[in-house]
Structure 1
Amino acid sequence: MTNWRHVRTERLWLDVATVADVPDLHEIHADPQSWEHFPAGRHADRLMSEQMVVNGDRQWATNGLGYWSVRDADGGHVVGRGGCAVPDGSPWWNLYYRFGASVHRRGYATEMAQAAIEAAHDIGPERAVLAYLLEHNEASRRTAERLGLRLVWRGHDVGNPDRDAIRLVYVDREPDTDLMDAISRHCEPPGAS
């Protein structure tokens, strides 16, 4: 098994986030452009970004994998955050990617996500890798499809302030009944059938 805490891809440096990364991570996560498709997710204050790093440490300690700070130069500024982590109580790896607007359309999300999926398959191959995204976020959808993930669920985005929002769920394998049941429980409102 590989140590996935520090990874080098063709163009990116992927490292476990540290407190020193908080200013750059907060700039990305507080930027309205980064949350164009889900404004409610935007970090309202720096404390949210600090807590994100603390939660990331817990993910790495618990599951041996989590989200990285992404740089496109050795020792440079953080330009994104992404990777695979296990959401509390979920049987899957959640694939996450968010990048600063200045580096959009460079293919960084795909490059980082390929390493993340490889890491998830190495650390916990029994868990499916899941990408959970909004239908109107075409760039995120294209990234999931470029990665070879399959659309397995589409429905209203429970809890989204935008009542018309549609959630898509992509996975890296043919889902079995247990996985589809777990996805449905996660995505559908209580009492839905």
Structure 2
Amino acid sequence: PCHHCKQRGQISCNRCKGRRQVKCGECSGQGTKRPRVRGCRGSGEIECPTCLGHKQLLFSIKVKCEWRKRQVDFIEEKTDMPDELVRDVSGTVLFAEEDDSVSPILNFPYAPVNEASARLVAEQDKAVKGQRVIRQRHRLRGVPVAECHFQQHSGGSGVFFRLRLREPAVH
């Protein structure tokens, strides 16, 4: 039902305020001239501008869903290689979990991985508190890295890194 006209389809005329008469501007209300009534034409009511006289409204509800993808990572390595070189390398998946809610890794033989996993899961839980989480994914990847130091005959030295981008396929 229309809330503006209370399901009547009509509201009081703004000009005559529902009294069906207006004071004539030409004869100052003496009745010597008949004013041209605009709006309600003497009925005292006009069509409801909200429902256009239909007495009912059709509501549309707009639902906004926002999908967020939050990704955090931890890179543990003992070389001078920049983390950016490892971040997007596929490596070998050593552990994978995907569910409504994931748990930290607890029994990996290298303690910094367990600690980082617990910290990342706790940070994620805090970041999404009060929000509906549909799916979480937790992965541990191993990326073999070779670090090579070299000396040039001219006296200079340097270092380079070799990443194994993918484990070779086993047939």
TM-score, scaled to structure 1: 0.20
Normalized per residue, which structure has more helix? 1
Q: Report 1 or 2 for greater relative contact order, CA contacts < 8 Å, sequence distance ≥ 6.
A: 2
